[in-house]
């Protein structure tokens, strides 16, 4: 990878510039006290990280409280650089490259990326599919005479999308399907029910159709092509992964893709997400990786 291509196209020469950017992302309409909702504060400069003391209740609001950076000792410039790199729609970033580019240990880079991915996962899960929804079974992993002997690492997925009236998919989810919901290669009813409950907005009229047989003549080719692209991106960026990490990376892929389909700048959206999503503790990351199914 050409590391010179990894320089951000924006200028954050100082920590102060980064704090201003984070302030804008966290409070785009001006300061709001997290305790009482008051809109005016004094800035306290005596600490390395800025504090905002509320005029009304005197609560000291930390700029990084409630963000993915909370509790991290890593320089905020490195965090913003990592957010820029993970926002790249052409490649994303893996921990090995990130550690080289921003000069942190591999473990620190890995943890930063996991925290950013957790925020993406939250965003994907709270963004329910609605209206016309189409869902198709797909697979991650190289086929190995798939009709006779499935590859041991092959993982079943649901690729799902909200469709426009024109038939164009406009919002995607790819969810790792536990093998307990499969029976002779077909998805059990409990598997589709759970997906609908967790990922489809049923408060309004919804037209949902599942294709649960791999070689169905009615399969949704547009959706399957996206699942294949996501698998190729994972293999290229992370050199293939095991089932534990699959959901995390599929969510990352869909997060960027969905913003792109809405013509929304990924970096600015990711910055806002990072500034408004609480950091996930290491123990939760490990626990989550032990169970990656939807
Ligand atoms: Zn207050």
pLDDT of residue 291: 63
For 25-40, write each residue's pLDDT tens digit: 999 999 999 999 999 9
pLDDT of residue 4: 40
| Separation of CA 42 and ligand 1 centre (Å) | 11
3-state secondary structure the chain: CCHHHHCCCCCCCCHHHHHHHHHHHHCCCCCCCCCCCCCCEEEECCCCCCEEEECCCCCEEECCCCCCCCCCCCCHHHHHHHHHHHCCCCCCCCHHHHHHHHCCCHHHHHHHHHHHHHHHHHHHHHCCECCEEEEEEEEECCCCCCCCCCCCCCEEEEEEEEECCCCCEEEEEEEECCHHHEECCEECHHHHHHHHHHHECCCCCCEEEEECCCCCCCCCHHHHHHHHHHHHHHHHHHCCCCHHHHHHHHHHHHHHHHHHHCCCCHHHHHHHHHHHCCCCCHHHHHHHHCCCCC
For 234-251, write each residue's pLDDT tens digit: 988 888 787 888 999 999
| Separation of CA 36 and ligand 1 centre (Å) | 4
| Separation of CA 40 and ligand 1 centre (Å) | 8
| Separation of CA 276 and ligand 1 centre (Å) | 18
| Separation of CA 57 and ligand 1 centre (Å) | 4
For 198-225, write each residue's pLDDT tens digit: 999 999 899 999 998 888 888 999 999 9
pLDDT at 12 over 80: no
| Separation of CA 43 and ligand 1 centre (Å) | 13
| Separation of CA 65 and ligand 1 centre (Å) | 15
pLDDT at 108 over 80: yes
**In the chain, what are the domain boundaries?**
132-265
| Separation of CA 277 and ligand 1 centre (Å) | 20
pLDDT of residue 152: 61
């Amino acid at each position: 990878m050409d590391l010179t291509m990894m320089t951000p196209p924006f200028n954050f020469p100082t920590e102060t510039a980064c704090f201003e950017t984070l302030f804008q992302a966290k409070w785009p309409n001006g300061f709001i006290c997290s305790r009482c909702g008051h809109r005016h504060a004094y800035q306290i400069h005596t600490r390395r990280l800025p504090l905002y003391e509320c005029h009304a209740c005197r609560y000291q609001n930390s700029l990084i409280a409630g963000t993915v950076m909370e509790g991290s000792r890593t320089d905020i410039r490195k965090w913003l650089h990592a957010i820029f790199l993970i926002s790249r729609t052409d490649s994303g970033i893996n921990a090995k490259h990130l550690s080289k580019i921003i000069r942190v240990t591999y473990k620190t880079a890995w943890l930063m990326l996991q925290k950013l991915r957790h925020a993406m996962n939250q965003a994907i899960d709270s963004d329910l599919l609605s209206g016309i929804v189409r869902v198709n079974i797909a697979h991650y992993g190289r086929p190995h005479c798939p009709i006779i002997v499935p590859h041991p690492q092959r993982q079943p997925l649901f690729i799902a999308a909200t469709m426009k009236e024109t038939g164009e998919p406009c919002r995607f989810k790819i969810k790792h399907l536990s093998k307990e919901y499969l029976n002779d290669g077909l998805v059990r009813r409990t598997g589709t029910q759970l997906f609908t409950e967790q990922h489809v907005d049923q408060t309004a009229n919804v037209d949902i159709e599942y294709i649960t047989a791999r070689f169905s003549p009615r399969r949704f080719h547009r959706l399957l092509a996206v699942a294949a692209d996501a698998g190729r991106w994972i293999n290229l960026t992370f050199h293939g992964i095991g089932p534990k990490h699959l959901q995390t990376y599929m969510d990352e892929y869909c997060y960027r893709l969905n913003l792109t389909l809405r013509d929304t700048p990924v970096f600015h959206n990711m910055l806002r997400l990072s500034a408004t999503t609480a950091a996930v503790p290491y123990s939760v990351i490990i626990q989550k990786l032990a169970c990656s199914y939807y």
